[in-house]
Structure 1
Amino acid sequence: MLRSLALIACLALLAGCASSSYDSESAHGYHAEGTASYYGRAHHGKKTASGERFDQHALTAAHRTLPFGTRLKVTNLDNGRSVVVRVNDRGPFSRSRIIDLSRGAAERLDMLRAGTAPVRLEALD
């Protein structure tokens, strides 16, 4: 009985310590729909979670779980415009949103005025 409890405790501990890094395979086939927002000037030049400097004019994005470097096709469901972005940061921090886009990507999707837009995300291989 004591051995069983010890084994369960060890397994629980190992599960809690599982790596949060992702390989490129974890993005394979990813698709989602939800609300996108964007960030720009206030973060321009600051370090992203991946360690690179944020460039508000680049075509990049923040996603909560996808691996850094994942390329996503983002389609604005209101107007059909699409852009391909690269995940280089973590976010969004608002639970109601699925992705934060750079200002450059938001411009291409024509969502600057509204600030948010309904989008479809598709991982590219």
Structure 2
Amino acid sequence: PGDPTPSDDPSTPDDPTTPPNDPTPSDGPTTPDTSTPNTKHPSKNDRPGSFNTKNPSKNDRPGSFNTKHPSKGDRFDSPNTKNPSKNDRSDSPKTEFKAVTKTASTSKARVLSTGTCGASFYSEGQMTASGERFNPDAMTAAHKSLPLNSKVRVTNPSTGKSVTVRINDRGPYVGGRCLDLSEAAFSAIGDIDAGSMRVKYEVLRP
């Protein structure tokens, strides 16, 4: 018999020099290709140049201010109008009250004696008990026993007005009266046409 005719069997390679289509052996586990970006669900960190515009954090809003609930540190130059501290209360009524109280206490400490009596006035030009000529325009008065040059504050209770006079003469010698004021001193606290009035007097320390 002669040589057999080559078979059309597809399992037999036509070219005996072509190596079989065997996979090339790998030196290790196959590394997945990472060059292709995940375009379907990229993470927030994989989005270069993108911003979280839906719910950005407060720190991510450049140039923005928290106007609803700013922290105390963000309130620049905002005065504490509800509960100011004691140091912020400049010209407080309490301070003024203390100052007035101190002044009143100081005034009381200067008073030697007090009383009430009738007061009149005189305007004749004559020599006074102190040796000086009487001046109706000066704030002076006459008293029966107070030392000369004593200072007396005289107040009219009906008007609240007061004047401080210097004792430089003696008198008056009329019942119910203890002071004879100069015309200027009398008119400063009362009606000159009345001629006399009830007063409160305070003898002051020199």
TM above 0.5, yes or no, is yes
Partner of 1:86: 166
**TM-score, structure 1 as length reference:** 0.73
Partner of 2:114: 31
Whose radius of gyration is greater, 1 or 2?
2
Q: In structure 1, what is the Cα distance between the partners aligned to 2:175 and 2:129? A: 18
Q: In structure 2, what is the Cα distance between the partners aligned to 1:78 and 1:34? A: 14
Higher percent of residues as strand: 1
Give structure 1 stretches of 5+ with no counterpart. 1-27
1:59 maps to 2:142: no
Look up the equivalent residue of 2:112 and give its one-letter code: G
Identity %: 42
Alignment of structure 1 residues 1-125 onto 2, 5 Å? 29-40=112-123, 43-44=124-125, 46-125=126-205
**TM-score, structure 2 as length reference:** 0.45
Look up the equivalent residue of 2:114 and give its one-letter code: H
Cα RMSD (Å): 1.1
Q: Highest relative contact order (Cα 8 Å, sep 6+), 1 or 2?
A: 1
Q: In structure 1, what is the Cα distance between the partners aligned to 2:192 and 2:151? A: 22
Moved runs in structure 1, 4+ residues, more than 4 A? none
Query: 1:78 touches 1:117 (CA, 8 Å); kept in 2?
Result: no
